[in-house]
Structure 1
Amino acid sequence: MESPDHILVVDDDAEIRTLLRDYLERSGLRVSAAADGRQMRAVLSRTAVDLVVLDVMLPGEDGLALCRDLRARGAAHLPVLMLTARGEETDRILGLEMGADDYLSKPFSPRELLARIKAVLRRTRALPPGREPASAAATLAFGAWRLDTVGRHLLDAAGTVVALTGAEYRLLRVLLEHPQRILSRDHLLHLTQGRDADPFDRSIDLLVSRLRRRLRDDVREPRYIKTVRNEGYVLSTAVAPQVTLRSTAPTDEPA
């Protein structure tokens, strides 16, 4: 029998932690809870977690700093759903910049949180690393770059690895699957995050900005990701799928 997904709720409000733990567990999930960054790290050090629900307003290190730390420590593929105060657009923007996969404004209903959790997990697992046959792993080459679809990272012309967050990987993968085709922000948001945009949603613009930095793409004269005014974005270079022979022996690479 498949084990339930393990969710870590990080919030300094004990009442919210209890409410979410009870609701999510009744919905078939396994739940751990933490009140701050120290407790969060303690949980992550002793058990595997499938997704972190992380409040922005925390004592000591806030949620933005903790999200940035998770990404810096190699947890690029651990989904993070951030909880922000209603109307705090700055928190949402910074959360996405730090590598969060989604955000939800307080107050919210537990039912909506559950739906967001399931959507993020579906997106994360839509292209799971390591599921391709070991002897025929796809690499997508474009310009001076290659995207390793097993390791979920970029390689530059010298073979140097550039790590990507889960959200960055999904956006780049979508662009590479639709080269030289204009994709609207709404379409990109639907393909990468499984939801519709609200009138002030800037998450795709932020992700594009982050990807351009990874690709060392000059925003004034971009070579790879170009902005089409009033329409969206386009990957302006051709893409060549490649097959890389890989050893079937286990590796020591982090998940």
Structure 2
Amino acid sequence: MKESPRILVVDDSEDIVTMLSRALSRHGFLIDAATSPEEALARADGAAYDAAVVDLVMPGQDGAALAAALRQRIQGLPVALMTAYTRSPLLVAARKAGVKVFSKPLSIQELVGFLKSEIP
């Protein structure tokens, strides 16, 4: 039996982390959550994640930079970037780096579709 995919969810809002964790768990994903970029990077060291869902605007480090750092640690990691800021210059670099951008409010069905299509 194939193991459920592990997803790292990162957002500085605990409410959003909780909501996403519950929603993605219902779709069969195993969730690890972090509420800061630093916590996310610490969790990624030595972990085997199949994908990450990351907020764009967070204190300390933006989500685009975090996505790049995660992808350096875990080669080929699919990353979904969430944002309410559809005109941020950070989005251009994120898209060029192969990160999928989702606008808030987030469609769980679209996010699940992306994750299922990207995880082998």
Displacement, 1:92?
2.4
For 1:49 and 1:109, the matched residues in 2 are separated by 22
| Kept after mapping to 2: 8 A contact 1:9/1:34 | yes
For 2:4 and 2:107, the matched residues in 1 are separated by 22
Structure 1, residues 36-69: CA drift from partner, whole Å, max 9, x if none?
Answer: 1111112112421000111110110111221232
For 1:88 and 1:102, the matched residues in 2 are separated by 15
Give the equivalent residue in structure 2 for 1:41. Answer: 41
Higher relative contact order (CA 8 A, sep 6+): 2
Give the equivalent residue in structure 2 for 1:57. Answer: 57
Normalising by structure 1, what TM-score? Answer: 0.44
For 1:119 and 1:91, the matched residues in 2 are separated by 24
SS across alignment from 2:57: coil
Do residues 16 (structure 1) and 20 (structure 2) align? no
Give the equivalent residue in structure 2 for 1:101. Answer: 99
Do residues 116 (structure 1) and 88 (structure 2) align? no
Displacement, 1:101?
3.1
For 1:106 and 1:68, the matched residues in 2 are separated by 21
5+ residue gaps, structure 1: 126-255
| Kept after mapping to 2: 8 A contact 1:82/1:100 | no
Corresponding pairs, count: 120
Give the equivalent residue in structure 1 for 2:7. Answer: 7
| Kept after mapping to 2: 8 A contact 1:4/1:28 | yes
TM superposition outliers: structure 1 runs of 4+ over 4 Å = none
Residue type matched to 2:99 in 1?
Answer: D
Residue type matched to 1:103 in 2?
Answer: V
* Structure richer in helix, relative to its length: 2
Displacement, 1:86?
4.6
Normalising by structure 2, what TM-score? Answer: 0.87
1:139-158 maps to which residues of 2 (within 5 A)?
none
5+ residue gaps, structure 2: none
| Kept after mapping to 1: 8 A contact 2:78/2:99 | yes
SS across alignment from 1:108: coil
Residue type matched to 2:113 in 1?
Answer: A
Sequence identity (%): 33
